[in-house]
Structure 1
Amino acid sequence: MARQERAIRTRESILEAMASLFVEVGYEAATIAALLERTGLTRGALYFHFPTKEAMARGVLARAVTREGVRPQKHKLQEWVDLGLLLAHRLPREPMLRAAVQLSVDPKARSLFGTRWPDWIDVGEDLLVEAGKRGELLPHAVPAEIARLAVGAWTGVQLVTEVLPENRDLSEEISRLYRLILPAVARPGILAELDLSPCRGERLLGPAADAGAPVADGTPA
């Protein structure tokens, strides 16, 4: 068991180190030699876990789609919003997530192993379908369309925010995105009860949430 736990920790450390390299220099320029220097591993130890750089990239992408921090709420639309706000809070702080986005927009990397955008769309669509069944959406709102366009908009906002000279906060920008989207798809009574605060992602992952305390659902938008 101890050996297995060490192997899991080593595998995780390799992925984290390679993710940092992908963020810093891109997929093409990230080399095995640089990874070995960063981790202190031998080639044999590295190849025991990952035989190629492509395998490591796939490992990074596999961690991209997560509902960590999303808790059951009164409204499924709140859970859908929480999904995006949590990612906005975590992405600047977690190289693994940043690397996954970078790999997804890199033409060379994308041609080799695709992206996880379809999976994000599916996760969002599932929540939106449930929201529709509960009467939270306007009659014209189509969950599949909302999920697809929201993922595209979220990604675009993240990429633009990252290069703007004003050092804008991603959580604030994503909060603004939801404030633009939701009036067009959510019933007014539901919209008034949604918490779209840019601080919500941080609260969901904060000490109170870790301790099991509920995170309020109902702060007016």
Structure 2
Amino acid sequence: MAQPQQARSIKTRRTILEAAGALFGAIGYAATTTEMIIERSGVPRGTMYFHFPSKEAVADAIVAAEADVIVPPVRRLKLQSLIALTYRYADVLMHDPVLQGLVRLSVDRVQPSHGEPWRTAHRSLTELIRAAAENGELLPSVEPERFATVLQSAFTGVQLSSQVSTNRKDLPERVTDMWRYLLPGVAIPGLLPSLSLPDLPD
């Protein structure tokens, strides 16, 4: 169990990341200043610089925060795990300013390191799709890396259009529409009735 001082430090760090994530997500990395992060987070200037010496350091911490989100939920079918992962990501994206900031950083790519979440997610998707193929769940024509690229691009477009239209309030419904059009082109026909849409987080 974390000691009181350590717990406060973790909470303060999270407060700073949430403030920065909200700003990055709303106006982008380039337009966000350290002063804006300090003001939005409400932490003293010295505390801010104790945890993060620069705006770049804050962004790096946000980039590193994706790992827990892209762990696929366990399902009997690998393709169902892939579906569940997209709903889980959508659910967190709707409520977590840190992930919202990370997505904007990945899209804008002002710094080379900001593209790492995109590459990490692509590798994770490819591995899961490859497992589904090895399990006999996909059509023989499906190439895991190419499908991962298509899925990642489709999800990015879906979440961006949802953000513009409804501030992501309808994101789960848009993810469902995405899968309804994608699945017939990748899953073996006999598997389709066994796949659940939506597959929402517990």
Which of 36, 58, 61 is the matching residue for 1:34? 36
Q: Give the equivalent residue in structure 1 for 2:24.
A: 22
**Can you list the C-alpha shifts for 1:77-131, whole angstroms capped at 9, x where unaligned?**
0000111111122212211111111112225x24463341111111111111111
Q: Over residues 116-164 of structure 1, what are the superposed CA-to-partner deviations in whole Å (9 max), with x where a residue is unaligned?
A: 1111111111111111111111111111111111101110121122223
**Percent identity over the alignment?**
37
Question: Quick one: which amino acid aligns to residue 147 of structure 2?
Answer: I
Which deviates further from its counterpart, 93-102 or 19-28?
Answer: 19-28
Find the counterpart in structure 2 of residue 219 from structure 1: none
Question: Are the aligned partners of 2:138 and 2:187 in contact in 1 as well (CA < 8 Å)?
Answer: yes
**Match of residue 194 from structure 1:** 195
Residue identity in the other structure for 1:113 = H
Asked whether the 8 Å contact 2:25–2:97 carries over to 1, the reply is yes
Q: 1:165 to 1:7 in 2, by over 3 A?
A: closer
| Structure 1: distance between partners of 2:43 and 2:168 | 36
When normalised by structure 1's length, the TM-score is 0.81
After superposition, the C-alpha distances for 1:185-212 in whole angstroms (9 at most, x for unaligned) are 1111222100122xx32xx23xxxxxxx
Kindly tell me: are residues 135 and 170 of structure 1, through their superposed partners in 2, closer, same or farther at Cα, counting changes over 3 Å?
A: same
- CA–CA separation in structure 2 for the residues paired with 1:66 and 1:178: 23
**1:31 is matched by which residue type in structure 2?**
T
TM-superposed CA distance for 1:40, in Å, is: 3.0
In structure 2, the partner of 1:12 is: 14
Aligned to 1:143: 144
TM-score (ref. length: structure 2): 0.88
Give the SS at the match of 1:63: helix
In structure 2, distance between residues paired with 1:168 and 1:65 = 24
More helix by share: 2
TM alignment of 1:70-89, pairs within 5 A? 70-89=72-91
Q: Which amino acid aligns with 1:135?
A: G
Q: May I ask how many residue pairs the two structures share in their alignment?
A: 200
Spell out, residue by residue over 1:37-74, the C-alpha distance to the aligned partner (whole angstroms, 9 max, x if none). Answer: 23332222211111110111111122234347843211
Structure 1: runs of 5 or more not aligned? 206-221
- Distance in 1 separating the partners of 2:47 and 2:167: 43
Q: 1:67 to 1:27 in 2, by over 3 A?
A: closer
The aligned counterpart of 2:132 is: 131
* Separation in 1, partners of 2:19, 2:66: 15
Judge conservation of contact 1:103–1:115 (CA < 8 Å) in 2. Answer: no
Query: How far apart are 1:76 and its partner, in Å?
Result: 0.5
Matches within 5 A, 1:86-97: 86-97=88-99
Work out the CA distance in 1 between the residues paired with 2:134 and 2:85.
19
